[in-house]
Amino acid sequence: MRHTIYCVLCVLATLALGILAARYVADSWLLAFFESLQTHISLFAILLALITFVFKRHWYALFLTAAGTVLLVHSVLMLQEYSASSLVASAEAGGGNFRLLSFNIEDSNFENGARIADFVITSKADVAEIFEAGPILSEMDRITKVYPYRIGCGVMTTDCDSLLLSKRPFRSQLMRSLGSLWDNRFILAAIDMDGQPVNFASVHLSKPYFDAFHQIELGLLAAALNDVKEPLILAGDFNASVIAPDMRDFLAATGLRHAFPEPATWPIAFGPYGVSIDHVFARAPLRLISVKQIRDAMGSNHFGLMTEFSVPRTGGSNDAAIN
C-alpha cells in the first residue's frame, strides 16, 4: 500500500511538472491556463513530492522536488522581470497624485449593482474603469453626478460592457474592438490631469484558452498603444498572468511595467493567494505609487484594484522614469 501511494503521488507530481515544462519546448494556447498558474502548480507539485518521502525514500521524489523548485524560482523571476524598478513617492516624480479604480464587476452581478455604484461614487478615484458594467447601468444617473464624463454604456456604443468614467473632460476618446470575438472592449481616452495630459487605456481580453484570440488581441493592443506618445496607464481584465508567454511578449513590445508583487484578483476564494489576471500597467514618465486589491469583491468573481499614480510635470526630470 505504501508503494502504491508513493507511485500515485509521483505520477500526479510528474504530470503537473510536465505540463509546466511544456512551455519551454512548445508555444500553444492549449497550455495557456496552466502557464498563468506556474507558481501555484509548482508549489503543489513540490508538496506532493515531499509527501512521498513519508511513504518511500527514493531518488525520483528528490528529482521531482528539485524540478519543482526550478520551475517555481523561474516563475518568480518572470513575475519580476517586467515590474517597475522602483516605486517612488509623488514628490520625487515632481507631480500630483491621482487615483484609478479598475474592477470587473461580473455581468450577472445585478443584485449588488447599487452597492457597487455606491463604492464607485465614494471611491475618490479620478478615473474609474469598469468591466462587464451591466449591473450598474440602472445607477448611471447618480454615478454621472460625480463622474460626468464617460465612454460606454450608451456613449459611443449601445451596449454596457466596458465603461470608463472620468471627473474631468476628455481631450480625445476612442472605443473599438480588438479582434472578432468581442465588441468594444478597448477604450483609450486622453484626460488633462492638472495640466498634464494622461492617456487612460481600458481593455478586457478573451480567455487565453479560446484558441489564439488572446494572442491576437494583445498584438492589436500593442500596435494601438505604441502610437501613444504621452504618459499612459493601462488597466484591465487580461485573463492571464504576466508570466504567460503572450503577456511577456506584449510587455516587451510596449515598454509597459507593473508593480511587484501584483495583488491577486482571481479566484476570490483564494483571497491574497490567488492569481493576478487583472493588471495595471504604466509607461514612463508616469509612475505607479501603489496598486492595491479592493478586498470586498461585492459579489463579483474578481477583486477590483485601486491604483495611485503620479505624472511628472512637463519639463520635469526623467530620472523617475519606469525602466
Q: pLDDT by residue (tens digit) across 250-264?
A: 999 999 999 999 999
Q: pLDDT by residue (tens digit) across 153-210?
A: 999 999 999 999 999 999 999 999 998 889 999 999 999 998 889 999 999 999 998 7
At 130 the pLDDT is 98
Query: CA 299, 294, 149 angle in degrees (round to 5)?
Result: 90
**Selection from 26, 75, 22, 24 nearest residue 46 by Cα:** 75
Cβ atoms 307, 84 nearer than 8 A:
no
> What CATH architecture does domain 90-320 belong to?
4-Layer Sandwich (3.60)
Dihedral of alpha carbons 248, 229, 217, 268, sign: positive
Query: CA 297, 277, 158 angle in degrees (round to 5)?
Result: 75
Cβ atoms 101, 123 nearer than 8 A:
yes
Q: What whole-number distance in Å separates Cα of residue 260 and Cα of residue 282? A: 13
At 93 the pLDDT is 45
Q: pLDDT by residue (tens digit) across 46-100?
A: 999 999 998 888 999 999 999 999 999 999 999 999 998 644 443 344 567 999 9
Collapsed DSSP state (helix, strand, coil) of residue 168: coil
E strand map for the chain? 97-104, 127-131, 149-151, 163-166, 170-176, 186-193, 196-204, 232-237, 278-283, 287-294, 304-310
For 109, residues 6+ apart whose C-beta sits below 8 A from its C-beta are 116, 132, 135, 298, 299, 300
Percent of the chain whose predicted confidence (pLDDT) is above 90:
81
| Integer angstrom CA distances of residue 108 from 32, 41, 115 | 26, 30, 14
Lookup: cell for 86 = 522602483
At 210 the pLDDT is 78
**What is the overall mean pLDDT for the chain?**
91
At 33 the pLDDT is 85
For 136, residues 6+ apart whose C-beta sits below 8 A from its C-beta are 105, 113, 116, 117, 120, 130, 143, 163
State the average pLDDT over residues 28-50: 92
Q: What whole-number distance in Å separates Cα of residue 6 and Cα of residue 2? A: 6
At 320 the pLDDT is 36
- Return the domain boundaries, the chain: 2-81, 90-320
